[in-house]
Amino acid sequence: MSWLDRQSFLGPDSDQVLQDLTVGLVGLGGGNSHVVQQLAHLGVGGFVLVDDDVISETNLNRLVGGTLEDVLEARPKTEIAKRVVLSVNPEARIACHQAKWQEVAEHLRACDIIIGGVDRIIAKSELEAFCRRFLTPYIDMGMDVHRLGDADEFLVAGQVVLSSPSTPCLRCLGVVTDSALTEEAGQYGDAGGKPQVVWPNGILASTAVGLLVQLFTPWHGRPVRSAYYAYDANQGTMTVSERLGRRASKDCPHFPPDEVGDPRFDIREVVTRAETPIERGTIDTVPLAEPKHRLTALLAMVLDLLPFKVRR
């Protein structure tokens, strides 16, 4: 009998697969506070938690696991996420980094997948570029509130995108655009903060977790490499975006095959690190061992890229 018995339908080895996974979560505010909680309940074993911020009073409307006491103590968002995970699974391997992700990028390299809970378009773009470089699948979540005309009516919408090497990227799919980057740069320093609310974040986060499970367990029966779900809270719909269908058969011009991958990648280094025992409990600032799923994913992606090389 295991605490994960009720999810055995995910596949015969799914408990072990999920336990062996290491997930990088960048930004632990609204969306990723749901994601980290769900991953803990799923039995995911490894977490690299990155956020440079502490919880503030205006985060309490949406940060799952955050308390008024945390606000009074100005507790780092990474510490709150760690507490949520350990309260479910004390065996989880957790590396906490209260820093900007660029400062701890070497710790994110070891992750099997990275999930971005970052608001700014430039942050999404840079994080995706990092993931492409190291052949890591990236899931992006985004939520927006738009005023409809002059009326006091608002459209709440969002998207979840799975971006893997050699599949359409955030630029291909129109999530990152030059006009959005320019507009955002013009608003830099605007202290107002984007409107955010808890329930759309929960829906987007659940969709992201579903994609992760589909990616790593045999549950779905159909492997997924690329996805774009569009959420319309006013209509109450989550739909597969037509943008993905339009781009699916085209090569991504933004990350050509010869510009992805780590030129310093050395398989011997991975094997050596994989043999290093992984410490249980919290292991702040200690780099995690390279998970074995990374090797499988790397091999699959290298094989996938070969036809492009031959055609060139």
- Determine, following the binding rule CB under 5 A, whether residue 288 of this chain makes contact with Zn ion: no
Q: How far is CA 107 from CA 18, 92, 99, 163, 290, in A?
A: 19, 16, 12, 20, 10
- Determine, following the binding rule CB under 5 A, whether residue 172 of this chain makes contact with Zn ion: yes
Is-contact 2 12, C-beta < 8 A? no
Cβ proximity to Zn ion, 96 vs 169, nearer residue = 169
> Which two structure tokens, joined as six digits, stand for 295?
């090797």
Cβ proximity to Zn ion, 175 vs 270, nearer residue = 175
Cβ proximity to Zn ion, 220 vs 243, nearer residue = 243
Among residues 169, 211, 212, 213, the one that binds Zn ion under rule CB under 5 A: 169
Size of the site for Zn ion (CB under 5 A): 5
The SS3 assignment for 47 reads strand
Among residues 41, 75, 254, 293, the one that binds Zn ion under rule CB under 5 A: 254
Q: How far is the CB of 249 from Zn ion (least distance, A)?
A: 13
Q: Is 43 left (phi over 0), alpha (psi -120 to 50) or beta?
A: left
> Which two structure tokens, joined as six digits, stand for 30?
């609204």
- Determine, following the binding rule CB under 5 A, whether residue 243 of this chain makes contact with Zn ion: no
> Rounded distance, CA 206 to CA 225, Å?
18
Q: How far is the CB of 137 from Zn ion (least distance, A)?
A: 15
> Rounded distance, CA 86 to CA 281, Å?
8
Residue 228: strand pairing partners:
161
Cβ proximity to Zn ion, 171 vs 243, nearer residue = 171
> Which two structure tokens, joined as six digits, stand for 40?
């803990």
Window contacting Zn ion (CB under 5 A); options: 97-105, 144-152, 165-173, 211-219: 165-173
Among residues 100, 120, 133, 171, the one that binds Zn ion under rule CB under 5 A: 171
- Determine, following the binding rule CB under 5 A, whether residue 252 of this chain makes contact with Zn ion: yes
Contact footprint for Zn ion (CB under 5 A): 169, 171-172, 252, 254
